[in-house]
Amino acid sequence: MKMMNAFLKDLGILASNPGVSTGQNWIKSKGESITSYSPVDGLEIAKVNGADKSAYDAVVTKAQQAFEEWRTWPAPKRGEIVRQVGEELRRQKDALGKLVSYEMGKSLQEGLGEVQEMIDICDFAVGLSRQLHGLTMHSERPGHRMYEQYHPLGIVGVISAFNFPVAVWSWNSMLAWVCGDVCIWKPSEKTPLCAVACQKIIQKVFKKNNVPEGVSGLVIGGRDTGEWMSNDVRIPLISATGSTRMGKAVGAAVGQRLGRSLLELGGNNAIIISQDADLAIAMVAATFGAVGTAGQRCTTTRRLIIHE
C-alpha cells in the first residue's frame, strides 16, 4: 500500500481529482463522479469528477482560441515542446508505468513498455516537425510557379480505450501538435487516473514554455461525453479507439456532419503456423498474443491456423 501511495503521490493523484482541463488549468464541473477501481486487487484507487456539458463547451471554446495562436508557432518550435514532453515522460516513466499497470490491470513490464511507447512517439514526432514539406511546381503561366503546403485542421478529438490508457493518446496528440493542431482527449472512464496523470505531466512543460491555454484539453466522462464530441462541428477530426460497436456510432455521427474520423477498432486475429515453423517461437508468440495485455487488445490472438 505504501508503494502504491508513493507513485500516486509522485504523479499528483489525489483521493478526489478534477476531470476537466484546458491545459494548465482545471475546470470545476458538475458531472458524474467516477470511481476508479484496480482490477489487480479490486480496491478503490481514487475518484474523478467528470465533465458536464458546460465544462465541455468551455474546453472546446478554449481550444478554438488556442488554435489561432498555436498554428502560427513554427513547426520546429512545436516539435521542441513535444521533445520536452518526452523528457518529462522519461522522468516519470516508473511512476506512470506503475499506474498504467495498476489501474488497467496489465503486467508492470507492459505498463512501463506503454510509457516507453509514448516516449518513442515523442522522439518520432520531433523529427517530423522538420519534415512538413510542401511541393513547388511549374505553372502554365510564364514566370509563375505554384506551391502547396499543409495547413492544420484545428481541433483533434481523441477518444481512447482502457486497454492502452496513455499510449493511444500520445500517438494522436504528439503528431497533431507538431502539425499545428490542438487536441481534446476523452479517455476511457475505466482508466481516468492515467489521463489525469498525463495532463499533470504535460502541464509542467506547457507552463515553462508559455504554450497557449487550450492546446491540450481533457474531458473525462462516459458515453455522453463521446457523443458531444462526435456531434460537435467545431471538431473537424475525431480519432477513436475502442469496440466495433463504438466505432460504428462515432463514424456515423461524424460522417453525418461531414467530419473526418480515424477509427481503430476490434479485430479477429489469427496466427498461421506453417509446417516448417519453429514451434518453440510459435508457441511463445501464440501464448503472449492471447494473454498479453490481460487479453484486452485489438490484436489479441483468437485463432490458430495450424498445418496438419
Which of the following is catalytic: 140, 179, 298, 308?
298
**Spatial CA neighbour of 192 closest among 88, 37, 26, 308:** 37
- Note if 264 is an active site residue: yes
Catalytic residues: 264, 298
